[in-house]
Amino acid sequence: MYLILLLAFIVVFIYFIKVGYGRKALMYSFFSFPFIYFSINMIDEAVTIDEWDYIYVFRLMNTIERGSLYWFKGTYQYRISQIFSGTMCTIARGLLKSISDNQMILIYKYSHWLLFFVTVVSISFIWTQILNGDPKKLKGRIACSAILYGLIGLPISCLLLKVCNYDAGCVYFGVAGISLLILAERRKSIKFAWASVFVSLLSCLEKWGGLPYWCICVSGIGALVFRYSKSWAKSVASIFLSVFGSSIMCYLALVYIRLLEGQGLVDLNIGAALFPIFFMAKLFFGYSSINFNDITFYDSSVLVYLPIVLIAIIIFSLILETGRKFYCRWCYTNWFKYISLIYVVTLFLGSILASYLVIRSQYPFIEIPEGYYVPSESMNGTIYFYNVKTHIGYILCQIFYSFSVVLTNMPTIYLVGVFVACYIIFKHNRKWGGAKHEEYFLYLTGLLALILPGLYTLAGEPAVPRYFGVSILLIPLISVYVLYHYMDMPIKWSKIVCVLAYCVFVWEMIIYIPNYTSFSPLWLYRSEEWKQSMRQGEWATGEAMMWGEDIAIAGNKIMEIIGGEGNYSEYNLYSTYGSVWLKNPGFNIQKLTSGIESLSFTEKDYYVFSKFSMYRSEEPDFFKEVEPIASVSFDGEIAAWIYRGDMILEYTSYLQKFIR
């Protein structure tokens, strides 16, 4: 890990030199070190639930069983991860004949981290160009540093960089594509718009949910071509060319993956190749659920949905350019200003209140009370509800809860920056879209970031941070832009504010080391009783729910309890959730689902109860009656309880609930 830290430090140093920091590049690189560490700590120990199976099969891609779930999902999603990390594993396997399973997994995880770390730094560089700041002045250096530190150190970035699943590629390439589109408008350069199309396509290749970002970029190039050429024929031609070029990239990506799997071009067809850019439309118009093992999802007959995507892009491109004319006329008016103000204030204040007052309940883990609204949408058999009696109340709770997830996943200092940026826009009568700055796409991006979480949640997507990563990253980026261009502050006060902001940011992230899925900002107060307990079938925004990293964190605590260099093979670790610990010194790790007869309750047995699995049933009696020997907690909130076997011997009947 230390070699990776050094390599990342060098990349950041080169970045600051490239941006123009000169002699101050080294100092700002050192300031970035905590955030680099947050983004990589325990990457060589913890493995989350969702990433384990995919890492395991993708590291030996030629052994994937044809027709299996992993074969289907690995063929039609995860393409960029496979192309890069899969290639690294293939090279390592050829060079290192005696490489172990754990070493291969680490190669996969480190290569994934490096790929997206470089992507993050590239996004930061794009935004320094959008910002067009002067790095020779303090204000310019502060703005550029705030962008980079945020992109590396925000909780969502720490999660995406460390966890090897498709969310990282979907979010980062989506953000990069939209950022390039903004830069294209700012620089009046079509070449950046073309780049945005093919970068955003990588988001689709990684996860089909990235399609909206690609559609936005393709529509954007159509709008820009018309703006500069005044020809709709050229505009439509550019859209067709974008779709054609994207189709070729999709095809070549699948060809490469099939070759890497050792299966040549077997079963390759145009429908399978173009899956990333039509599948979302197919779901929207034809299906309400996904069965990845259904081969008809991928054959060439589904190409009928591709023209639907193309027509939608052309229409949206027309709306984009037509809307710009109205925007440039309206942005000077007070009514436009106040409508925007009312929307933003309502959304932000409502979401902050929702973070305290709205609890998301889940059926079948808890029953829906009689007389309350029962949603028709479900996800994997789970129905999310909010204990309201009307459909309108349910929709409002969905929207405010979803955006509260966005707000509570931002460090406090960045959220303060968002509020200050909003205040500056509405306090000063500065004109977006004026002659000095081309800001139409920037404004629309801000609007998109504000509405996407609500739209996704209403469409049935669970309200969790990794699904809202694009909004969580774009909102602070746009806020930094506004603060740089529209706020003036004396140099002395700038230095004081920045030092305080930096310290608060670092401290808030330190509280949640190791930085994976658990994060809650300082302003979100929870009582001690709330922090120490669990609630059946209920999940509050900002709650410390781990994702399988619990076994590695708890394992280190148990090692401290045991002490010394004992023979850890004599000890058993039983877990209700995570089961993979890459640096396991010899513990026998089992899930409780292995069967009650395989469990032992002695002084050499330790049980790790993760809140993420426990909240699905009633709180066990021994949580109230027996003090755990240790716990995993973040800012005082327990996320996992650790018990020694002999402490819970008389409560074995409760453990039957976890046996499947």
pTM over 0.85: yes
Give the separation between CA 399 and CA 391, rounded to whole angstroms. 12
Q: 642 forms bridges with which residues in the sheet?
A: 608, 630
pLDDT in tens, 240-255: 999 999 999 999 998 8
What's the half-sphere exposure (Cβ side, CA atoms, 13 Å) at 656?
Answer: 5
Give the separation between CA 106 and CA 1, rounded to whole angstroms. 10
State the pLDDT confidence band at 297, using cuts at 50, 70 and 90. Answer: low
Q: Is the pLDDT of residue 429 over 60?
A: no
The lowest-confidence range among 37-51, 71-85, 426-440, 455-469 is 426-440
**Percentage of residues in the chain having pLDDT higher than 70:** 93
pLDDT in tens, 166-182: 999 999 999 999 999 99
3 state DSSP class of 608: strand
pLDDT at site 336: 75
pLDDT at site 64: 73
Query: b/e per residue, 303-320, with b = 16+ CB within 10 A?
Result: eebbeebbeebbebbbeb
Give the separation between CA 473 and CA 653, rounded to whole angstroms. 46
Q: Is the pLDDT of residue 79 over 90?
A: no
pLDDT at site 432: 46
HEC letters along 624-638: HHCCCCEEEEECCEE
3 CB-contact burial (10 Å; exposed 0-12 / middle 13-18 / buried 19+): exposed
Give the single-character DSSP code of 153: H
Among 131-135, 422-426, 628-632, name the most confident range. Answer: 628-632
